[in-house]
Amino acid sequence: MTSPEENMKSIEAKVVVLGSQGVGKTSVVIRYVGGMFSKAVSPTIGASFFTYKMTLDGYRVKLQVWDTAGQERFRSMAPMYYRKANAAMLVYDITSLESFYDIKDWVKELRKNVDTPIAMCLLGNKSDLDSGRKVSTAEAAEYAASIEALFFETSALKNLGIEDAFLQVSKQLLKMYETYPNSGMGLLSSPQESTDIFSHTTQNVKLPSRTDSEKPPSQGGSNCGC
Amino acid sequence: MAAHGEADQLGTTSDSDQGELNETDAPGKSEDAILFASDDFDNLTYEGLAEEAQKPVQKGTIHAIVRQSSNDVDSRSNTPNNIDHDSSEVSAGEESVEETAEQAQITPRADNTEVPDTVDASRIEIEEEDAYNPEWKNQKKHVFILSASGKPIYSRHGKEDKLVTIMGVMQALVSFVQDAKDQLRSIVAGQHKFVFLVRDHLILVGVTRGMDSTQQMLLQLMYVYNQVISVLTHSSLNKIFKQRRNYDLRRLLTGAEKFFDNLLNLMDTEPGLLLTAVRCLPLDSSVREIIAQSIVQNAKLKDLVFALIIVKNQLVTLVRMKKYYLHPMDLHLIINLVNASESFKDAESWTPICLPKFDASGFVQAHVSYLDNDCEVCLLLLSVDRDSFFILSEAKDKIKARLIRYNALQAINASIKRTSYSTQQCGIPDLRHFLYKARSTAQYTSPELEAPYTEPAEQERLFGMYLYLHHRIHTSGRPLKILFHVGEYETLLGWVTQGFELYAVFGPLITKTSAIHAVNKLLRWIKREEDRLFILNSVTF
């Protein structure tokens, strides 16, 4: 088990999940990381931190996911999370036009404040509520194209589109990594750099409890086709 | 050990002269307090408040720590009194990005986002205001927050936007009296007391027909006000209203309603808020020492101000930076944050919180995580460095590992299961329940609620008796040292000394002599148990 892994390059990428309150950011993340859905997800306070590991195209990818709070009062904290982010998941609720318009503010803010490359992915969540839909797929897709973001409609409830979205984002992150490996923009920390972050304290770089025993993502290397 | 000898000695003397209260050395007393010893209640008068309002709020603490701990005090942030002390202050650097984003938050958004629909709705449904609803009217205690210009911000019962008229009346009353260069404090009408607190563009109103005294209501309003500050910081609150007097603050408090709800419920059930004291989870002092050491050894980080473990609203341990104390009111806000937030149970969290008594002008960042699978043992690491999440996260893993290695987590869980202690354990037959506060350490202890106080209604009645006793003893006009009160169903004894406050509830037939005897015996029992019931050593980084 060790030898092939040792040959693999490891990268760590920071993913920030943004969007208005109640659009289902936490549900999407918990569905992806924890593989479940809870009806009683309570509003996030500040931000929650999740990690997710996968192997993809010969890389060991560790996603550090910051699930941010959508409430207005936490707006001022957002820079802390997106500042060094490599990818942003912009989540809106397909039944709320306002949540979709809010995405534009987020994009504007990201453009203004982030000067490093950042992969963006637009997620229209709650796609199971098609009867109450207010944001058409075409409109969202067009918008996503205009900001050069990936676009998926997802349902945390029905588990639709989420794995694919994260997978495609990861692929894009790899592509970014290969394009600018040494850009020094904090894009993706190489293993050495990531050691540096933790070196204050000890050798224990990896969180001991959640290592590779975590279920390998089902989509692991199988979808490398595209 | 010395403590034991002392207690025994006192025991013998008091047995000989029955019928006199012995001002013993207060059990739970410590020179080395972990918390800021506070007697906020006694200081809480309108005169005091008016004075306090003149004084600048507690601020600059965070800035001082940041400046002290960062080797390279960057010249960009050397303007402590300019624009915002809030979030950007928390980190020593990289303010440019934050500030712009902050502007986005603080600057009230364009008009179209001003929650116009709710205003319209209330205009249409004005006939159906909650104030006409009998259920609403029958609530025992109401608490309202409104802006100085009369905009509804929060109501404990009913929807605040359906209470525009009544809030308008409150605002009118306050400003009418203000116009006469005076201040509206309270109104008593029949069974109801209306208590007003005006602070920094906010009007807080409490209405009760319970046992709460005016001053007790005022304390509760102070907590509510502090909760607002805790969410927004004093600086932002002022800045917002300076920019737009009629700003709809609900925008920024969305999602924080549950903190107010929860806080108000805690205040009706948890004596610690009334006593401005905290209850500790009973633990052997050796175990508590191991826990504190686990934190000190693994989390000695330059920007970490407080590290604490909370279990079921009780304090397990607190480690603090040498120069700084945590105020019990701030600790109650932290407890409330943990108590009201389910989302911390999902994952490690990183959230800003303002501690008004510590520094009202800025946020500290809290790393919040649960150490056990049942999500009962909550570790909070409060830092002034907003970029320290990963360092703290790693410290948390090590603390947890060490607690498991030394069976400390197990000991905590055992203590949770065992519940606190029964009144019977004190060995005093007629004693039903008591509250004991050690004043020097701002900690209190009390036994489990047992028969006859098992039903919520009875518990409420008991709490009402404590309110009464507390009120009578602390009445600012005529404070009492000792009060013996024979009621219909129980007899109450309240006793306050330099070192402690004791409120005891006995059966109705107890005589004064035996009550006094019992109380002396109780103090000796608490003295014997003090190492377990109180945190007597303060551990610092």
What is residue A90's three-state secondary structure? Answer: strand
Separation CA B421–CA B434 (nearest Å) = 12
Residue B138 placed within a domain: no
* B69, burial (CB in 10 Å: exposed 0-12, middle 13-18, buried 19+): middle
Residue A65 placed within a domain: yes
Q: Give B-chain residues touching A76 at CB under 8 angstroms.
A: 86-87, 98, 101-102, 104-106
* pLDDT at residue B111, as a whole number: 40
Q: What is the pLDDT of residues A94-107, one digit of tens each?
A: 999 999 999 999 99
Say which amino acid occupies A158.
K
* Residue that finishes a domain, picked among B381, B397, B418: B418
Which residue's structure tokens are 């004991």?
B436
* pLDDT at residue B102, as a whole number: 41
Same domain, B354 and B342: yes
The set of residues, in sequence order, having a beta carbon less than 8 Å from that of A168 and lying 6+ positions away, is A121, A150, A152
Q: How far is CA B521 from the centre of its chain?
A: 30
* Residue that finishes a domain, picked among B352, B384, B418: B418
In the beta sheet, which residues pair with residue B493? B484, B504
Same domain, B414 and B301: yes
Same domain, B409 and B500: no
Residue B432 placed within a domain: yes
Q: Give A-chain residues touching B98 at CB under 8 angstroms.
A: 76, 79-80
Separation CA A61–CA A10 (nearest Å) = 6
Residue A137 placed within a domain: yes
Residue B57 placed within a domain: no
Same domain, B382 and B435: no
Residue A121 placed within a domain: yes
- Closest to B378 (Cα-Cα) out of B362, B356, B399, B354: B399
Cα three-residue angle B479-B481-B483, rounded to 5 degrees = 95
DSSP A66-85: EEE--SGGGGGGHHHHHTT-
Same domain, B457 and B398: no
Residue B224 placed within a domain: no
What's the structural domain count of chain B? 2
The one-digit pLDDT tens for each residue of chain B (541 residues) are: 333 433 333 333 333 344 677 776 788 888 788 888 876 677 777 777 767 766 767 778 888 887 776 654 444 444 444 334 444 334 333 333 333 334 434 444 444 444 444 444 444 444 466 777 888 888 899 999 999 999 999 999 988 888 888 999 999 999 999 999 999 999 999 999 999 999 989 999 999 998 999 999 999 999 999 999 999 999 999 999 999 988 999 989 988 999 999 999 999 999 999 999 999 999 999 999 999 999 999 998 989 999 999 999 999 999 999 889 999 999 999 999 999 998 898 899 999 999 999 999 999 999 999 999 888 999 999 999 988 999 999 999 999 999 999 999 999 999 988 878 888 888 888 899 999 999 999 999 999 998 899 999 999 999 999 999 999 999 877 888 999 999 999 999 999 998 999 999 999 999 999 999 999 999 999 999 999 999 998 899 8
The set of residues, in sequence order, having a beta carbon less than 8 Å from that of B409 and lying 6+ positions away, is B371, B372, B377, B400, B403
Separation CA B2–CA B19 (nearest Å) = 26
DSSP B450-469: -TTS-SHHHHHHHHHHHHHH
- What is the 8-class DSSP label of residue B401? H
- Of all residues in chain B, the one with the smallest CA distance to A209 is B397
Separation CA B334–CA B305 (nearest Å) = 14
Same domain, B308 and B397: yes
Report whether B152 contacts B146 (CB < 8 A): yes
Alpha carbon of B381: minimum distance to chain A alpha carbons (Å): 14
Residue B192 placed within a domain: no
Alpha carbon of B269: minimum distance to chain A alpha carbons (Å): 24
Say which amino acid occupies A34.
G
Separation CA B395–CA B393 (nearest Å) = 5
- What is the 8-class DSSP label of residue A203? S
Q: Give A-chain residues touching B91 at CB under 8 angstroms.
A: 80
Alpha carbon of A44: minimum distance to chain B alpha carbons (Å): 5
Q: Give A-chain residues touching B386 at CB under 8 angstroms.
A: 80
* pLDDT at residue B116, as a whole number: 41
The set of residues, in sequence order, having a beta carbon less than 8 Å from that of B343 and lying 6+ positions away, is A26, A41, A42, A43, A44, A45, A48, B349
* Residue that finishes a domain, picked among B400, B418, B436: B418
- Closest to B169 (Cα-Cα) out of B194, B135, B193: B194
User: Domain range spanning residue B473?
Assistant: 2-29+422-533
- CATH number, position A132: 3.40.50.300
Tokens at A59, concatenated? 């890389």
* pLDDT at residue B69, as a whole number: 66
**CB-based contact A77 B348, cutoff 8 Å:** no
Who among B98, B349, B386 is closest to A45 (CB)? B349
Q: Give B-chain residues touching A42 at CB under 8 angstroms.
A: 341-343
B191-229 b/e with 16+ CB inside 10 Å = b?
Answer: eebbbbbbbebbbbbbbbebbbbbbbbbbbbbbbbbbbb
Tell me how far apart the terminal alpha carbons of chain A are, to the nearest angstrom. 27
Tell me how far apart the terminal alpha carbons of chain B are, to the nearest angstrom. 26
Who among A30, A47, A202 is closest to B351 (CB)? A47
Residue A156 placed within a domain: yes
Tokens at B394, concatenated? 């790693």
Separation CA B477–CA B481 (nearest Å) = 13
- Closest to B520 (Cα-Cα) out of B497, B539, B540, B536: B497
Separation CA B490–CA B462 (nearest Å) = 10
pLDDT band at A41 (very low <50, low <70, confident <90, very high): confident
Which residue's structure tokens are 């610690």?
B272
**How many other C-beta atoms can be found within 10 angstroms of the C-beta atom of residue A39?**
6
Instruction: Kindly calculate the radius of gyration of chain A based on its CA atoms and give it in whole angstroms.
Output: 17
Residue A117 placed within a domain: yes
**CB-based contact B397 A209, cutoff 8 Å:** yes
Same domain, B282 and B410: yes
Residue B366 placed within a domain: yes
HSE value, Cβ hemisphere, 13 Å, CA-based, for B337: 31
ipTM above 0.95, yes or no: no
* pLDDT at residue A198, as a whole number: 33
**CB-based contact B104 A109, cutoff 8 Å:** yes
Same domain, B411 and B430: no
- Of all residues in chain B, the one with the smallest CA distance to A34 is B346
Does an H or E element contain B528, and which?
A: helix B512-533
**CB-based contact B343 A21, cutoff 8 Å:** no
Same domain, B312 and B435: no
Same domain, B412 and B284: yes
Residue B320 placed within a domain: yes
Same domain, B441 and B485: yes
In the beta sheet, which residues pair with residue B206? B143, B195
Tokens at B414, concatenated? 């055992």
Tokens at B104, concatenated? 């986005």
* pLDDT at residue B94, as a whole number: 35
Residue B401 placed within a domain: yes
Tell me how long chain B is: 541
Alpha carbon of A161: minimum distance to chain B alpha carbons (Å): 22
* pLDDT at residue B433, as a whole number: 95
What is residue B10's three-state secondary structure? Answer: helix
B150-177 b/e with 16+ CB inside 10 Å = b?
Answer: bbbbbbbbbebbbbbebbeebbebbeee
Separation CA B31–CA B5 (nearest Å) = 19
What's the structural domain count of chain A? 1
- What is the 8-class DSSP label of residue B481? S
The set of residues, in sequence order, having a beta carbon less than 8 Å from that of B363 and lying 6+ positions away, is B62, B86, B87, B89, B90, B233, B352, B353, B354
Same domain, B405 and B439: no
Q: Give B-chain residues touching A40 at CB under 8 angstroms.
A: 342
Q: Can you list the pairs that B169-172 forms with residues at least 24 positions away whose Cβ atoms lie under 8 Å?
A: B170/B144, B170/B146, B170/B196, B170/B203, B170/B205, B171/B146, B171/B203
Alpha carbon of B16: minimum distance to chain A alpha carbons (Å): 58
* pLDDT at residue B34, as a whole number: 80
User: Domain range spanning residue A38?
Assistant: 2-190
Who among A73, A77, A112 is closest to B231 (CB)? A73
HSE value, Cβ hemisphere, 13 Å, CA-based, for B21: 16
Residue A208 placed within a domain: no
Who among A50, A72, A204 is closest to B254 (CB)? A72
Residue A84 placed within a domain: yes
* B511, burial (CB in 10 Å: exposed 0-12, middle 13-18, buried 19+): middle
**CB-based contact B390 A197, cutoff 8 Å:** yes
Cis preceding linkage at B452, omega within 30: yes
- CATH number, position B439: 3.30.450
